Amino acid sequence: MTEDDVRNGFAMPIYNPAYPPGPYRFVDREYLIITYRTDPAVLEKVIPAPLKMTEPIVKYEFINMPDSTGFGHYCESGQVIPVSFEGEAGSYVHSMYLDDHPPIAGGRELWGFPKKLGNPKLQVDKDALVGTLDYGSVRVATGTMGFKHKALDPDPIITSLGGPNYLLKVIPHVDGTPRICELVRYSMTDISLKGAWSGPGALTLVDHALAPVFDLPVLEVLSTVHIIADLTLPLGHVAHDYLS
């Protein structure tokens, strides 16, 4: 292997990367999103500058991805926070737990997604849509929604799915100091909405030292949405370099 071969490597391990090059297409991606009000003082402490808190709101997401380029079938769960950046509304991805190595490796290395290994599920249980997240043997999140009670206007959903999202990407140097420390921006593209519904919802979070979703407590559930869509995750770009 020549030095040029090494420089042209895409990912690790270089001889057999954990994931293929992007962009990545998702078919029949299914969301359960429970929006809730939380403690503003606690929320403000986890939002990295220069992002700014807009409201004391968190979106808890359970996502089933049965058909995704290079990643196969996996599930994901975590917390997304509405924010603003330079006056524009967007979302900051605060935590993610999933059950498949390639998207964990690719998500962290390429964009800086805050991915950790967990065991999330999203399924229909008779008349309810149920999302769960287990960390190890401990159930740390349970979300429920009445199944397809009311169809929603597609336009606001498509706009929301295509909005700007922000990630904090930190990769250390070999001495442990930050080598990369960036705010990364990305937006979903080529969105084909197949359905969106609302219904009564509930969310329970449990305290856990290594999966601290409970640190952003649920004070009031504001809305619950069920979405099915095809969309593409492109590569991102650096919105802010903390080391420059």
Per-residue pLDDT tens over the stretch 66-93? 999 999 999 999 999 999 999 999 999 9
What is the pLDDT at residue 208? 98
Q: Are 93 and 166 a contacting pair, CB within 8 Å?
A: yes
| C-alpha distance from residue 27 to each of 32, 56, 90, 152, 229 (Å) | 16, 32, 24, 20, 7
What is the pLDDT at residue 82? 98
What is the pLDDT at residue 60? 98
Q: Mean pLDDT, the chain, as a whole number? A: 97
What is the pLDDT at residue 232? 98
- Can you list the residues of the chain whose pLDDT is less than 50? none
Q: List, in sequence order, every residue forming a beta bridge with 28; answer none if it has no partner.
A: none
Give the catalytic positions in this structure.
Answer: 115
What is the pLDDT at residue 199? 98
Q: Is the dihedral of CA 25, 231, 112, 223 positive or negative?
A: negative
Q: Are 135 and 47 a contacting pair, CB within 8 Å?
A: no
What is the pLDDT at residue 151? 98
Q: What is the DSSP letter of 88?
A: E
CATH number of 18-241: 2.40.400.10
Domain extent listing, the chain? 18-241
Q: What is the pLDDT of residues 139-181, one digit of tens each?
A: 999 999 999 999 999 999 999 999 999 999 999 999 999 999 9
